[in-house]
Amino acid sequence: MTAPAPFAPHPATDTVVSTGPVPIAVRDHGGDGPPLLLLHGGGANLAAMTPLAARLRGRYRVITPDLRGHGRSGDGPWDWDAVLDDLAAVAGALRLERPAVVGWSLGGMAAAHWARRTPDCPGAVNIDGNPTPTRPEQLPGLDPGQAAAELDRLHALFDAMSAGPPPMTRAQADALIEQQRQAALGGGAFPGDARAATTERNLVPEGEVLRLRPAPDTLAQIQRALRELDVFALYRDARVPVLALHATRNLPHQEPFAGLYDAYRAWLRERLAATAAAVPLLSGHHLPDASHAMVAEDPDRVAAVVADFLAAAG
């Protein structure tokens, strides 16, 4: 398994696709290979995928969109069908013939939906895109009462986060970005430059202040879509080869819930193995010593796994 070498820096091409339900901002990283749509996670934007895009561009023409409600793309009702319609509009506008779809986190779950909807797709990869646990039975090894209490605590945190930060001045935004850079130096999830570029791209003017996207109503719709999602049902219905790439360790901010996340990963591992045994189109891979932020922490290894899978699937 050899990681594709990153191409030399080059000017990517930014455009906005306006042929679909909402305008979708897109970055074309170039490359002479077959087309590949590379999708970011919830609360991020296409800038978060730059490290992985650089590693994949040696084999693919890599296209990174901002999902609706994120980055520079338009707002609209957030559900899976709407997101897939946006991606289809991007593929059509850029004349991408049978693109592979690779997504991280929320984008990975969108890729799994694409694998069910698009039978001519050469392959789809879900990089650690799993809904938040909602039931004690998803946390094997924990006492049911403890599991229920931990789930309540986790969901309360997510509910508070869905309100989003208040509007901020430019100076406050700069301070936030610097704080994120310093956190990255101290072992945060994302390299400082990638995190800063992602935050900057999600800032939008609102009068004399800046607001951080996604907006609270978009976050609420995304959370609802995640609560209702059974990703293993998507795998069972897949019409093309799918790879589920899972993390194996916690992020720093997950450590207060370490017992919950360790138990949930064990449940996911068991479910993935059982589903893959019954679904020939599904493959599972657990990347050693990789966190949920693997696309930025370790893009070389992720790119190698993705490229090997798509080469075999193609």
pLDDT number for residue 162: 80
**pLDDT tens digits for the chain (314 residues)?**
655 554 444 579 999 999 999 999 999 999 889 999 999 999 999 999 999 999 999 999 999 999 999 999 999 999 999 999 999 999 999 999 999 999 999 999 999 999 999 999 999 999 999 999 999 999 999 999 999 999 999 999 988 888 888 999 999 999 999 888 877 665 555 666 788 899 999 999 999 999 999 999 999 999 999 999 999 999 999 999 999 999 999 998 899 999 999 999 999 999 999 999 999 999 999 999 999 999 999 999 999 999 999 999 97
Amino acid occupying residue 310: L
Let me know if residue 26 belongs to a domain: yes
What whole-number distance in Å separates Cα of residue 220 and Cα of residue 161?
10
Residue 301: the pLDDT is 98
Is residue 85 in a domain?
Answer: yes
Domain assignment present for residue 41? The answer is yes
Strand ranges, E, within the chain: 13-17, 24-28, 35-39, 61-65, 100-104, 124-127, 203-206, 209-212, 242-246, 282-286
Q: Could you tell me the residue range of the domain that residue 243 belongs to? A: 13-139+217-313
**Amino acid 7: pLDDT:** 45
Structural domain includes residue 61: yes
Question: Do the domain assignments include residue 187?
Answer: no
**Tens-place pLDDT, residues 117-154:** 999 999 999 999 999 999 999 999 999 999 999 999 99
d(Cα 312, Cα 307) in Å, to the nearest integer? 9
Residue 161 placed within a domain: no
Whether residue 32 lies inside any domain: the answer is yes
Give per-residue pLDDT as tens, 58-69: 999 999 999 999
- Rounded-to-5 percentages of helix, strand, coil across the chain: 45, 15, 35
Question: 200 Cβ partners below 8 Å, 6+ apart?
Answer: 47, 177
Would residue 240 count as lying in a domain?
yes
The number of folded domains in the chain is: 1
Q: What CATH number corresponds to the domain at position 56?
A: 3.40.50.1820
Residue pair 235/126 in contact by the 8 Å Cβ criterion: no
